[in-house]
Amino acid sequence: MIENQKIRPAQVVGPLGEPLTLDSLPPVDTTRWVVRRKAEVVAAVNGGLLTVDEACARYSLTLEEFAGWQRAVDRSGMHGLRVTRIQYYKSLYERQQKY
């Protein structure tokens, strides 16, 4: 019987175009989440390097927190991850949805 094995890439393309591997991801004990680090974790999950559950367990994130990062990247790119601009991008997205 052949079991379906999970095939994962050795590397994925990061948010700035650089190759990302498990070793090049942010450290597990990261407490200061800058835009680039958030975007790297989202890119790793989107590329299949990590699963959502693995990323949340590895970085002690809640599912809602990670989903927020992913939604921000989908809507506004890396700029959407900036904490100081959350309200601006949120209102911009809501205005776009009206039309």
pTM for this model (two decimals):
0.78
Residue 86 lies in a domain: no
The count of structural domains within the chain is: 1
Q: Among positive and negative, which fits the CA dihedral 54, 23, 69, 34? A: positive
Residue 70 lies in a domain: yes
Residue 45 lies in a domain: yes
pLDDT of residue 1: 38
CATH number of the domain residue 53 falls in:
1.10.10.10
Residue 55 lies in a domain: yes
Distance, CA of 44 to CA of 61 (rounded, Å) = 15
Residue 92 lies in a domain: no
pLDDT band at 16 (very low <50, low <70, confident <90, very high): very high
Among the residues of the chain, which ranges form H helices?
35-47, 52-59, 63-76, 86-98
pLDDT of residue 8: 86
Q: What tokens appear for 70 in the block? A: 């992913």
Q: Is the pLDDT of residue 38 over 70?
A: yes
Residue 15 lies in a domain: yes
pLDDT, average across residues 20-40: 95
**Domain residue limits at 74:** 11-25+32-81
pLDDT, average across residues 85-91: 65
pLDDT band at 2 (very low <50, low <70, confident <90, very high): very low
Give me the numbers of helices (H) and strands (E) for the chain, helices first please: 4, 2
